[in-house]
Amino acid sequence: PDAIVAPLFAAIDDWSRDGEDVWAVADRARLAAVRADRASAAARYFAEHAEEWDAIRSLHVPESAVEQTILGMLSDARIGHMVDIGTGTGRMIELIGDRASSAIGIDRSPEMLRVARVKLAEARLTQAELRQGDMYALPLADGAADLVILHQVLHFAQHPAAAIAECARLLGPGGRLLIVDFASHDLEDLRTRDAHVRLGFGDDQISAWFVAGGVGLDRVEELVGDALTVKCWLGVRGHATQLKAVS
How many degrees, rounded to 5, is the angle at CA 62 between CA 197 and CA 149? 55
Tens digit of pLDDT at every position of the chain (247 positions): 555 545 555 554 555 455 555 555 444 555 455 444 544 554 555 445 445 544 445 457 888 999 999 999 998 889 999 999 999 999 999 999 999 999 999 999 898 899 899 999 999 999 999 999 999 999 999 999 999 999 999 999 999 999 999 999 999 999 999 999 999 998 898 888 878 899 999 999 999 999 999 999 999 999 998 889 999 999 999 844 344 433 3
Non-local (6+) Cβ contacts of 7 within 8 A are 29, 32, 33, 35, 36
How many degrees, rounded to 5, is the angle at CA 195 between CA 188 and CA 181? 80
CATH fold of 55-237 reads Rossmann fold (3.40.50)
Asked if residues 148 and 213 have their Cβ atoms less than 8 Å apart, the reply is: no
From CA 219, how far away is CA 151, in angstroms rounded?
Answer: 16
